[in-house]
Structure 1
Amino acid sequence: MIKKAIFPAAGLGTRFLPATKAQPKEMLPVVDKPIIQYAVEEAVNSGIDEIIIVTGRNKRAIEDHFDISFELEYFLQKKGELDLLKQVREISELATVYYIRQKEPLGLGHAVLVTKELVKNEPFAVILSDDLIVSDVPCIKQMIEIYERYKCSVIAVEKVPREEVKNYGVIAGKEIDDGIYQVTDLVEKPLIEEAPSDLAIVGRYILTPGIFYMLEKVKPGRGGEIQLTDGLKLLLEKEAIYAYEFKGKRYDTGSKLGFLIASVELALKREGLGEQFREYLKSLRLD
């Protein structure tokens, strides 16, 4: 069983400056919930009960969010705001949460590598909260089912327009079942004409502990960063890796446009808010 999930959250969030100058990007709210909470809830709803958040400087707000807030709970109790009190308590009771510092932002591979002693010798999930995925069955739960079938690393992929492959890691592989591919190669941000497919890697992974030994061998690239894709390429020489075209809708909340789209679409689905918001949008005159 997959019981641990890593959440890299040490990035500087430069695409959202100045909003992220003094608060973590992961704490920006989509409707009324921080981006990272959606991802943690996905993990918990997939059966994961140990959350490892890789943080950096100025990320204290993430720790406070998943901690107990005695003053706030007392205030809500005193005012009789029991529904809000329930919501606040549920956040601190979601799972066991551990924090570890990535002292320098040295790439996704390095963020995974610093968790080696916490994960130990067992398979684990990696979830990038920028990719907010809405689905009937949680995306990570879908991937755990694939892992249980093959007992190998599984990476989430989705088809993207050919002109966008340069923004992603891309796989080459053979489809062996509906939406399941045995990976033969991985290419980080290829040129359009050199991309092996239109299947882009997105922010969900189930990894075997062998990835740690491969990441220790990876030579740092541009900016001294250790890329997870490079570690996966080395792992592929030793173990099979599968890619899974997950069922659900992904919002790239790491971009301003994706963040706005997610905010609008999730607000429209929110009970007690969606109907009024829809009527407001209909009333807009877009000149």
Structure 2
Amino acid sequence: MMKIKKAVFPVAGFGTRFLPATKSTPKEMLPVVDKPLIQYAVEEACKIGVEEFIFITHHAKGSIDKHFQENKELHEMLIYQGKNDLADSIKDIGGPNAKFVSVDQGEPKGLGHAIGCAENYISDDEFFVVILADDLIYNKESNVLEQMKKQAEKYGKQVLALEKIPEEEISKFGVVDPESSEGSISYLKGIVEKPSIQDAPSNLAVVGRYLFNKSIFNHIDSENIGKNGEIQITDAISKSINDFIGYTFEGERFDCGSKVGYLKANIALGLANEELSARLKKYIGEIKDL
């Protein structure tokens, strides 16, 4: 059985689409119901056995680290007040053996560059996952990383999470070129970064989850400037495309990097919350234009 002990979280972006809310608060710390986005991502990784969480960050984003540090005073206060459930919710986020590492990306040079910053933390022949916390993917039964790990074990390949997207959104994503497909699995012959509708090889986009082994770092070239003047992870994947499969996951993705997607996530997860669901449904039925 494949063991995945490390996860990489590129979190250096400034979240300009959410200004002024993100002026001093990282976008990854924006809450969906009662947890920040980054905690959903960390908890997702925990489900597949990850114990080391590597944040590729920016020196101005310290509150991400602080969220995962012990707050003994708050914990003791909650226990004293008899709020044991709340006390448990802030203890050992990531598990009792969790190790959190922060790496300063320095200059933002693209997703490929951010992932490359984790190279020294990944051992030879080790598989690891990359999670973009902006993409909150919800599946009550089996999270997307659990699904991807099963496919990696079955096929012995690195895995890209895929989603069918509408034409008008194609230019926002890396889009794969499938040679053939078998159910939810796509055998790939290419990948294109943010193509136009006319140039897109399919409507299958790579979204927010990657399962790599260390060989990916051999293909991240700091001298190879790609689309939008950045070092793109799609260029690295393209160089070793035969080592990958695409997997169309089961679950619903919320693009929490957009305001509408973020609001949708709060509504959907609010409705999935037993404590909130009935009151929220009632309110939704009573909404009037403000």
What's the counterpart of residue 96 of structure 1? 99
Aligned residue type for 1:215:
I
* Aligned counterpart in structure 2 of residue 131 of structure 1, from 119, 132, 135: 135
In structure 2, the residue matched to 1:188 is 193
Aligned length: 285
Task: Report Cα offsets for 1:129-174 as digits up to 9, x if no partner.
Answer: 1110001211011101111112221101110112221111100113
Render the CA deviation track for 1:237-285: whole Å, top value 9, x for unaligned. xx42100000110000010110011111111111211111111111122
Map of 1:44-55 to 2, 5 A cutoff? 44-55=46-57
Q: What does 1:1-287 align with in structure 2 at a 5 Å threshold?
A: 1-91=3-93, 93=95, 95-121=98-124, 122-135=126-139, 136-216=141-221, 219-221=224-226, 224-236=229-241, 239-286=242-289
Instruction: Report the AA paired with residue 280 of structure 1.
Output: Y
Runs of 4+ in structure 1 displaced over 6 angstroms? none
Decide which structure has greater helix share: 1
Cα distance, 1:83 vs structure 2: 1.4
1:92 deviates by 5.9
Query: What percent of counterpart residues are identical?
Result: 43
Q: Which amino acid aligns with 2:63?
A: A
Give the Cα separation in 2 of the matches to 1:146 and 1:93: 25
Deviation at 1:99, TM superposition (A): 1.6
Q: CA deviation at 1:222?
A: 5.6
Q: Which runs of 5+ in 1 are unaligned?
A: none
* Alignment TM-score, normalising by the size of structure 1: 0.95
Q: Calculate the TM-score normalised by the size of structure 2.
A: 0.94
Q: How far is 1:176 from its partner?
A: 4.0
Contact 1:156 1:244 in 2 (8 A): yes
- Measured after TM superposition, the shift of residue 77 of structure 1 is 2.2
Offset of residue 54 of structure 1: 1.1
Conserved? CA contact 1:169–1:201, under 8 Å = yes
Output the aligned Cα RMSD: 1.6
Decide whether the 8 Å contact of 1:68 with 1:92 is kept in 2: no
Consecutive unaligned residues of structure 2, counting only runs of 5 or more, are: none
Q: State the Cα distance separating 1:90 from its structure 2 match.
A: 3.8
Alignment check: 8 A CA contact 2:46 2:95 kept: no
